[in-house]
Structures are given as structure tokens and as C-alpha cells.
Amino acid sequence: MSVKTNNIYGKIIISDKTIGDFVYHVAQDCYGIVELVHKSKLDALKSFIVFRSGVKGVSVHSMGDRITLDVSVIVKYGVSIKAVVEALKESLQYKVERFTGMIVDTINVNVIGVRR
């Protein structure tokens, strides 16, 4: 799907893949995030088989002017997981809303592991 809006200049359409790419880069810049990973081995296999399946560790669902994000991450060893996840959620919500002009309804963060 994609996010659609209109303004005085015309129609704007942003694909879920574009939003996913943006979310991936925002999450990589967040302190305490080592990397984004697939949620399960099944998701990794689907991504390998299906060429255009999206960005690793990011799932975007849009309906109307609302966006739901699912992000799977590995967190840096020794940091507060709760603090890192809250900072990631705040950063994603602010930057995605500014980028798209839409409302980020829900952000689900799955911490898959911890790494040095």
C-alpha cells in the first residue's frame, strides 16, 4: 500500500517501501541500536525469495493517513534497553511524521538480541 494525500499543488503518494527505507536509516542513527534484523527466520527466507519484500527489520502498514511501524533491532550491550527503545520510538515518530506529513499511529519495537 501507500500513503496518499492532497495539497494545493496536487496529489502526493509515498510508497510503504520508501517509508521503510527512511525508517531503516533513522533507526541506524539512533544511539544503542547495533543493527536491524529480520523478526524471524521465516521473514529472512521470505526476504531472500521475494526480491521486493521490503527493508530488513522494518515493516510498514499504512491505512488512510495513519502509519503503523514494526521494527526489529539488536541493542548494544550495556545500555538500558528501555531507554534505547523509548528514544527510538520518539525519533521515529517525529521524523516519519515530518517526512510524510501523516500520523504515526503505532510503533512496535521487537528487541531480538543484545550484542557488543
**What pLDDT, on a 0 to 100 scale, did the predictor assign at position 41?**
66
| Residues ≥6 apart with Cβ < 8 Å to 76 | 32, 33, 34, 84, 114, 115, 116
**What pLDDT, on a 0 to 100 scale, did the predictor assign at position 50?**
62
* C-alpha to C-alpha distance for 64 and 37, rounded to whole angstroms: 28
pLDDT at 64 over 70: yes
- In the chain the domains, ranked by start, together with CATH numbers, are 2-115 (3.30.70.1350)
Mean pLDDT of the chain: 88
Pick the residue with more confidence: 46 or 37?
A: 37
pLDDT at 72 over 80: yes
pLDDT mean over 7-30: 91
**What pLDDT, on a 0 to 100 scale, did the predictor assign at position 94?**
97
